[in-house]
């Protein structure tokens, strides 16, 4: 207890951890976030904020700041890898705003992270705290960190990502399945394109066994991002920081459209990671501990819904803890799981198939979701 109020520890100051702290703060519940990184850093990756995610950011109070930084694409195009023939031209821009009441934005992940960071007080986050152990007893949940510190909280929200120590402690070491594929990604200054004009400001190029997604991540279109997926049976390192060979990447897409080749020729360096798949978990909660985000429903990157679903989690979890939920954490956490699991399981399965939006698709079941108003069980 802290001044008579329950203490809640959040593990991980990523998108989900910061968002749930901001949501709980809006209803008068303060938290402490423990983050393993020594400080905030702008990691070079793009991210898509679809309308379901933007509703969360608006509710937190940072939607307008996001819109000032991000690129708002007029459409999302899907093309054949070599001919460039359109397979689906999905309207966004004003059309998306009219349909959903919020925009569809493309941005730098670091800019989103910074905006969320600004939504919580600086002293909420304790950097340099890598969790090494967790144990729930009669006096609360004890957290042990690699720096030697030991903390106790009444409840723990684990937003510690795809390699969650809390999940492994709760359920045993996970059984992840290597997909046989890897992804390359990077963001780089658009000036390196040397004046080359792309057909599209945002597009996914579909090949027989691989694809590449390309889009701008700033309102001024001065930074461009891409991410790929392609077969690779031998590389099995699931880390965003692994360095890739840009020449190997260019060779892998040598038969793609000139737009794709121009982007790959311009990029100075890349990172790569192996794509693993995970089955839905048997449970997300145990006692006064709950998982959220990638810790409990990690997704392949093919729908651009991983961060969006972590943001949705943050709102629904805060709603379950409101109105007396802190008097019975286990019940509130079970309600959260019951509210979210059917949707995240469906998104996981849809993303796994990697067909979303390839051809004409009605995405309302994804983009129309409103975490602030959806009925809770």
Q: What DSSP assignment string belongs to 185-205?
A: EEEEEGGGGTT---S-SEEEE
Per-residue pLDDT band at 164 (split at 50, 70, 90): very high
- Annotated catalytic residue within 104, 215, 216, 367: 215
Asked if the model's pLDDT at residue 173 lies above 60, the reply is yes
Rounded distance, CA 192 to CA 320, Å?
Answer: 48
pLDDT at 59: 98
Say if residues 289 and 343 touch (Cβ distance below 8 Å): no
Cα 76 → chain centroid: 19
Asked if the model's pLDDT at residue 282 lies above 60, the reply is yes
pLDDT at 44: 67
3-class secondary-structure state, position 88: strand
Q: pTM score > 0.85 for this model?
A: yes
The mean pLDDT value for 281-299 works out to 96
pLDDT at 236: 86
pLDDT at 278: 87
For 187, list phi and psi in degrees, rounded to 5: -120, 140
User: For 13-65, how does the pLDDT look when each residue is reduced to its tens digit (9 = 90+)?
Assistant: 999 999 999 999 999 999 999 999 998 877 769 999 999 999 999 999 999 99
Asked if the model's pLDDT at residue 4 lies above 60, the reply is no
Cβ neighbours around 119 below 10 Å, total = 19
Nearest CA among 99, 91, 52, 97 for reference residue 360:
91
215 in catalytic set: yes
Q: Are strands 86-91 and 202-206 parallel, antiparallel or unpaired?
A: unpaired
Per-residue pLDDT band at 109 (split at 50, 70, 90): very high
Domains defined for the chain, CATH in brackets: 8-45+118-174+281-367 (3.50.50.60), 177-277 (3.30.9.30)
User: For 195-204, how does the pLDDT look when each residue is reduced to its tens digit (9 = 90+)?
Assistant: 999 999 999 9
User: Which of residues 211 and 43 earns the better pLDDT score?
Assistant: 211
> Token pair for residue 274?
């192996």
């Amino acid at each position: 207890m802290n001044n008579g109020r329950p203490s809640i520890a959040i593990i991980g100051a990523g998108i989900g951890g910061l968002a749930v702290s901001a949501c709980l703060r809006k209803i008068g519940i303060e938290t402490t976030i423990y983050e393993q990184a020594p400080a905030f850093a702008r990691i070079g990756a793009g991210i898509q904020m679809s309308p379901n995610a933007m509703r969360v950011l608006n509710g937190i109070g940072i939607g307008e700041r996001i819109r000032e930084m991000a690129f708002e694409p007029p459409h999302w195009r899907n093309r054949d890898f070599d001919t460039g023939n359109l397979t689906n031209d999905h309207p966004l821009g004003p059309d998306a705003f009219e349909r959903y009441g919020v925009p569809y934005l493309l941005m730098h992940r670091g800019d989103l992270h910074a905006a969320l960071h600004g939504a919580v007080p600086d002293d909420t986050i304790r950097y340099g705290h890598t969790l090494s152990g967790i144990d729930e007893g009669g006096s609360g949940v004890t957290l042990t960190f690699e720096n030697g510190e030991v903390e106790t909280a009444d409840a723990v929200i684990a937003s510690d990502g795809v390699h969650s120590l809390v999940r492994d402690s709760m359920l045993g070491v996970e059984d992840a399945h290597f997909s046989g594929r890897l992804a390359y990604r990077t963001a780089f200054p658009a000036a390196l394109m040397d004046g080359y004009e792309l057909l599209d400001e945002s597009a996914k190029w579909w090949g027989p066994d691989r694809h590449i997604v390309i889009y701008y991540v700033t309102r001024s279109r001065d930074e461009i991002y891409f991410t790929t997926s392609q077969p690779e049976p031998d590389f099995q390192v699931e880390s965003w920081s692994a360095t890739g060979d840009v020449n190997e990447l260019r060779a892998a897409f040598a038969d793609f459209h000139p737009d794709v080749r121009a982007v790959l020729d311009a990029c100075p360096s890349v990172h790569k990671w192996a794509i693993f798949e995970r089955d839905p978990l048997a449970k997300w909660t145990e006692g006064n501990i709950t998982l959220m985000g990638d810790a409990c429903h990690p997704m392949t990157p093919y729908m651009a819904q991983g961060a969006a679903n972590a943001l949705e989690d943050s709102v629904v979890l805060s709603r379950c803890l409101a109105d007396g939920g802190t008097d019975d954490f286990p019940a509130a956490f079970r309600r959260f799981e019951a509210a979210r699991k059917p949707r995240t399981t469906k998104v996981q399965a849809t993303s796994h198939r990697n067909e979303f939006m390839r051809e004409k698709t009605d995405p309302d079941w994804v983009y129309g979701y409103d975490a602030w108003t959806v009925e809770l069980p």
